Amino acid sequence: MKSSVYLTSCLLCLLVNGKAACRPQIGTLLEGLLKFIQEGVKFSEEEPPDAKEVLSEYDFIVVGAGSAGSVVANRLSEISDWDVLLIEAGGKENYLMDIPFIAPLWTLTDANWRYKTVPNGKSCLSLQNEQCVFHRGKVMGGSSTINFMVSTRGNRRNYDHWRDLGNPGWGYDDVLKYFLKSEKITIPELANDKKYHSTSGELTVSYAPYRTPLADAFVQGGAELGYNIIDYNGATQTGFSYLQSTTKPGTRMSASRAFLHPIRNRKNFHVKKRSLVTKLLIDPITKTTFGVQFVRNKKKYEVRARKEVILSAGAVNSPQLLMVSGIGPREHLNDLKIPLIQDLKVGYNLMEHPGLPTVTFLVNQSVTFLSSEVLTNVTASKEYLFYHGGPFSVPGGSEAIAFIDTRDPKNPDGDPNIELFYISGCISSDPTYYKFAGYSHEFYNAVYKPIEGVHCWTALPMVLQPKSRGRIILKSADPHEKPLIYHDIFQNPEDLETQLLAIKETLKLSKTQAFQKFGSRLHDIPVPGCKHLEFISDDYWRCAAKQTSIGIWHLSGTCKMGNSSDPDAVVDPRLKVYGVKGLRVIDASIMPVVPAAHTNVPSIMVGEKGADLVKEDWGLIPLSG
């Protein structure tokens, strides 16, 4: 029963060292993969097959099979009279992607678009080439197939704010039903709360079946500091909790697995994988979208849409596709000689939650995850293969979470502006982690190589209500070229001060009795770029934040939703692109303000509501008002 150990260790070798260095292990890798599948591990049904023949015309064409697009394709194809085509640039999932513990590996593969920001000399200074790494899934299920599986919705005030910005129908009372529609919670003590949870949806949400002692210390430490232990997806959000994850205990529940696998046999539903949509087909006179152009295996195709084209390609690809098709800022498109269809603020309002993985604590007991220990533990391997339990069932080593309102910390119904994301490990716990985060070799060797093999933990402090904004622009008119991403995550100085407050909360937590039982102490090798400052002073932490904070995969806002009086709006509250017929955007890019949440589940909610808006507008369900 050592096959999964062989398999995972070989994968690590290949990803970290390359094929040549691991040549002796490649045979073992293939043997392990075969045995792994043959040993009867029960995964979901296969995803929908790639359509052998694409029709010349569909009622709806959905671009992007990520968190929102998977939902949209599912809900629209419920109507048997509607033909739906889903186009995805990436390929199919594989069985290994369902193993929660090894989630960071997939960001180092072709399942990730591997976007990086343009260096600005102000943030991500200790990362390779001073570029922030922005992970985006290029695979069926999108980022939900390669992320850390965190299930958070955000605060009710986030959605009421969307409504108050001029977006009727997007308040919390309006969107809660869509969170519930998707969810299938399997946590018994939460499942009884019928107002805030559902057991009938497709997206399974659970606790990991395995837990380290330090996960308990995190939650108990929060209680010591006076915070409540809560259900953060329930009535209130502030407090500490074990992590609710999009897992079917022990295995990943991606959006593809939840929403596409069950409909693989629908006759009116087609999928084209490894197909890059390169242009929206729009009549320049009537400004009506009538189809898409896509490329597969270097061959160009055109498909028409009888009713609508729906962009669900995400906060980078949706604005890129709009702009290469002539929808975007007039001056920018003129510079690239792209014929203008509609002048809109596409690509602006880029938001991301900055987080700091380098506030690291060491412990004197073997109570955290070291990948070298987990991957060679035959008992852990057996426990996962037979029961989907043990360390392999923990999403990327993340076990708990806290939401805090630093402006009113003792208010049980606060409006959180920081998050502490607990991971039973640190950058040195896994040989791929610093590459996943994007740090330079020099930074890693100076700060983390000296503690390799030492048990450690991280409560990654995160800014939840960032005021900084970035922008995505085209590098050229060529849709195959990645766009340019400009984002200084601390451009607004308030965000840096909020990050400092989050760091201080982490330091307080580390000093609680719950953590001191394990001899917890701050890792004291300073960030090289901040050596000139007094260690752990406020100025040191401000410097460390600029040097080492990273994005947490929550890109949003680049096709902003707003009413007709909002000069920055790209789509209206029904998600229709202003001034262009037959075209909607339904994904995280429409979020006017990023919610205080990891954005996978909110994106699924946007997909649910967006699909209903389409059905309403085509007379299939009554208008919700």
Please choose, from the candidates 98, 93, 102, 92, the residue with its C-alpha nearest in 3D space to the C-alpha of residue 5.
102
Mark whether 265 and 382 lie in a shared domain: no
Mark whether 235 and 321 lie in a shared domain: no
Element (H, E) at 425: none
Q: Given 135, 270, 487, 554, which residue is catalytic?
A: 554
Mark whether 454 and 539 lie in a shared domain: yes
Contact, 346 vs 323, CB < 8 A?
yes
What secondary structure letter does DSSP report for 556?
B
What pTM does this model have? 0.94
Report how far apart, in Å, the C-alpha atoms of 269 and of each of 52, 75, 145, 352, 427 are.
Answer: 12, 11, 21, 34, 43
Contact, 105 vs 374, CB < 8 A?
no
Element (H, E) at 294: strand 288-296
The pLDDT of residue 11 is 52
Please choose, from the candidates 210, 242, 602, the residue with its C-alpha nearest in 3D space to the C-alpha of residue 422.
242
Instruction: Report the alpha-carbon distance of residue 144 to residue 329 in Å, rounded.
Output: 30
Residue 369 within any structural domain of the chain = yes
Residue 177 within any structural domain of the chain = no
Mark whether 347 and 373 lie in a shared domain: no
The β-bridge partners of 192 are none
Contact, 137 vs 559, CB < 8 A?
no
Domain that holds residue 265: 57-92+256-351+556-617
Q: How many CB atoms lie within 10 A of CB 450?
A: 11
**CATH code at position 450:** 3.30.410.40
Residue 167 within any structural domain of the chain = no
Place of tokens 């990023």: 594
Q: Which two tokens stand for residue 568?
A: 């920055």
Mark whether 511 and 445 lie in a shared domain: yes
Residue 474 within any structural domain of the chain = no
Instruction: Report the alpha-carbon distance of residue 140 to residue 440 in Å, rounded.
Output: 30
Q: Which two tokens stand for residue 402?
A: 């806290």
Q: How many CB atoms lie within 10 A of CB 23?
A: 11
The pLDDT of residue 431 is 84
Residue 173 within any structural domain of the chain = no
Contact, 269 vs 84, CB < 8 A?
yes
Task: For residue 135, indicate whether it is catalytic.
Answer: no
Mark whether 536 and 449 lie in a shared domain: yes
Torsion-angle region of 263 (φ positive above 0: left; ψ -120 to 50: alpha; else: beta): alpha
For the chain, the domain total comes to: 3
Residue 135 within any structural domain of the chain = no
Place of tokens 């997806």: 233
Out of 530, 548, 566, pick the residue that ends a domain. 548
Residue 108 within any structural domain of the chain = no
Q: Given 270, 388, 523, 598, which residue is catalytic?
A: 598
Q: Which residues are annotated as a binding site for FAD?
A: 139, 147-150, 277, 553-554
Q: Which two tokens stand for residue 281?
A: 């087909």
Out of 508, 531, 548, pick the residue that ends a domain. 548
Residue 124 within any structural domain of the chain = no
Mark whether 322 and 358 lie in a shared domain: no
Mark whether 541 and 602 lie in a shared domain: no
User: Along the chain (625 residues), what's the average pLDDT of each consecutive run of 10 residues?
Assistant: 48 49 45 42 65 96 98 98 98 92 92 97 97 97 98 98 98 98 97 97 98 98 98 98 96 97 97 98 98 97 98 98 98 98 98 98 97 88 90 97 96 97 97 93 97 97 98 98 98 98 98 98 98 98 98 97 98 98 98 98 98 96 69
Mark whether 422 and 509 lie in a shared domain: yes
26-32 contacts, C-beta under 8 A, 24 or more apart = 31/3, 31/6, 32/3, 32/4, 32/5, 32/6, 32/7
Out of 548, 566, 585, pick the residue that ends a domain. 548
Q: Which residues are annotated as a binding site?
A: 139, 147-150, 277, 553-554
Mark whether 64 and 27 lie in a shared domain: no
Backbone angles phi, psi at 10, to 5 degrees: -65, -40
Coil, helix or strand at residue 470: strand
Give the 3-state secondary structure percentages of the chain, helix then strand then coil, rounded to 5.
Answer: 35, 20, 45
Mark whether 505 and 373 lie in a shared domain: yes
Task: For residue 598, indicate whether it is catalytic.
Answer: yes
Q: Exposure of 622 by Cβ count < 10 A (0-12 exposed, 13-18 middle, 19+ buried)?
A: exposed
**CATH code at position 67:** 3.50.50.60
Place of tokens 């990327």: 396
Mark whether 395 and 525 lie in a shared domain: yes
Pairing of strands 269-272, 84-87: parallel
The pLDDT of residue 257 is 96
